[in-house]
Amino acid sequence: MKILAILYSGGSAAEEEKRLLGTTENQLGIRDWLESQGHELIVSDDKEGPGSIFQQHILDAEVLITTPFHPGYLTRDLVEKSKNLKICVTAGVGSDHIDLNACVEKGIEVLEVTGSNVVSVAEHVVMSILLLVRNFVPAHEMIERGDWQVSDIARNAFDLEGKVVGTIGCGRIGYRVLQRLQPFNCKELLYYDYADLPADASKAVNARRVADLKDLVSQCDVITVNCPLHEGTRNLVNAELLKHFKKGAWLVNTARGAICDKDAVAAALKAGQINGYAGDVWNVQPSPKDHPWRTMKNPLGGGNGMVPHYSGTTLDAQARYAAGVKSILENYFTGKPQEPANIIIGKGKYATKAYGQR
């Protein structure tokens, strides 16, 4: 069986650190196992354009493994050209880089390693909220420059205590963020999701659901985005919605870059409509060198907490999603049922509500 894996190149870091399992060098730790069963494994980071390894080998691969950190974009066109493709496995969580509707139509299954990195991301969200609210990045940059001017930082530094925090999407990650915010004594925790939290779960974190998105953002000091990218969430945070944010609110997005309009966010930050933006996800990955989110700033020269896409690929997360990919493949080879929570597209239909209400 031909298996194609599009992963990110780890360079010398991956040679030195074998726990970087999600790289082209360490190949999720599955090469020997696959080859011992007679399967062919092609691994590459070369994913763009018709001449790329991805676009050549997708034509006859039966299994495609991709990672959200260096997404191999499986477009409708490629789905149609892929003659043998039966199953796509996302090494991680978030399969928006795959044309899911095209996979439904063609009977291709799509699976993720659900839950594998949700704690990793939730921790990153809480860290990002704190670094924006407390104005951490400019403070650190000042120290590196050799300067010391406390008031330049303190004039835009606040406590998280007493603030209203809201999450757009309250699934595994969104809920874990609310759990991790408990000791900070926020004024209120809010969520916007078409799925209600079970009563005991919302009581446990003392969170209130807000049914209207404009209503949610207008009440929040901090907004965190934790829903998947799909037709209903692409560009959800756009110029119009940003007008309804509280002036000076902070926005954290570790879900997917394309959920927020890049130019509208950069303009809102520059104008001070929002005081900060942080996250690790970009509308195209790797992001171009001139992407506005790399350098955008608020009027005081701070408010940017952007990093490359890594929140869900800590070494702990890589161990979990590599093991999860192996288990999904094992089930596929032996015909065993897959874990229901891992199935995004089952046989010809969506198996989850997370990618939009249908």
Q: Does 340 bind ligand NAI (CB under 6 A)?
A: no
Q: Of the two residues 10 and 174, which places its CB atom closer to ligand NAI in the complex?
A: 174
Does 31 appear as a known binding residue? Answer: no
User: How many CB atoms within 10 Å of residue 5?
Assistant: 28
d(CA 327, CA 20): 19
- Smallest gap from Cβ 237 to ligand NAI, in A, equals 11
Which one of 136, 192, 293, 350 is in contact with ligand NAI (CB under 6 A)? 192
Which one of 70, 172, 262, 320 is in contact with ligand NAI (CB under 6 A)? 172
| Two structure tokens written together for 269 | 């930050």
> Does 286 sit behind a cis peptide bond, omega within 30 degrees of 0 on the bond before it?
yes
d(CA 156, CA 38): 60
Does 309 appear as a known binding residue? Answer: yes
Please check whether residue 43 is in contact with residue 8, taking contact to mean a CB–CB distance below 8 angstroms: no
Using CB under 6 A as the binding criterion, the count of chain residues that bind ligand NAI stands at 33
Nearest to 317 by CA among 102, 116, 62, 90: 116
| Two structure tokens written together for 181 | 């915010």
* Contacts of ligand NAI in 82-101 (CB under 6 A): 92-94
Which one of 37, 48, 107, 194 is in contact with ligand NAI (CB under 6 A)? 194
Contacting residues for 31 by C-beta, under 8 A, at least 6 apart: 41, 43
Establish whether 57 is a catalytic residue. no
Q: Does 67 bind ligand NAI (CB under 6 A)?
A: no
Kindly report the backbone phi and psi dihedral angles of residue 34, in degrees, each rounded to the nearest multiple of 5, phi listed first: -70, -45
Establish whether 179 is a catalytic residue. no
| Dihedral of alpha carbons 178, 180, 183, 186, sign | negative
Q: Does 233 bind ligand NAI (CB under 6 A)?
A: yes
Q: Does 169 bind ligand NAI (CB under 6 A)?
A: yes
Of the residues 117, 135, 275, 318, only one is catalytic, namely: 117
Q: Does 260 bind ligand NAI (CB under 6 A)?
A: no
Stretch that binds ligand NAI, among 169-177, 181-189, 201-209, 267-275 (CB under 6 A): 169-177
In the stretch 264-293, what mask flags binding to ligand NAI with x, by CB under 6 A? Answer: ----------------xx------------
Stretch that binds ligand NAI, among 18-26, 74-82, 167-175, 204-212 (CB under 6 A): 167-175
Q: Of the two residues 207 and 281, which places its CB atom closer to ligand NAI in the complex?
A: 281
**3 state SS of 73:** coil
Establish whether 309 is a catalytic residue. yes
Q: Of the two residues 138 and 257, which places its CB atom closer to ligand NAI in the complex?
A: 257
Kindly report the backbone phi and psi dihedral angles of residue 252, in degrees, each rounded to the nearest multiple of 5, phi listed first: -120, 125
Long-range pairs for 37-44 at CB < 8 Å and ≥24 separation? 37/333, 39/1, 39/2, 39/3, 40/1, 40/2, 40/3, 41/3, 41/5, 42/2, 42/3, 42/4, 42/5, 43/5, 43/6, 43/7, 44/5, 44/6, 44/7
Does 210 appear as a known binding residue? Answer: no
Binding residues: 93, 117, 172-173, 193, 228-232, 254, 280, 309-312
Binding residues for NAD(+): 172-173, 193, 228-232, 254, 280, 309-312
List residues with catalytic annotation.
Answer: 117, 256, 285, 309
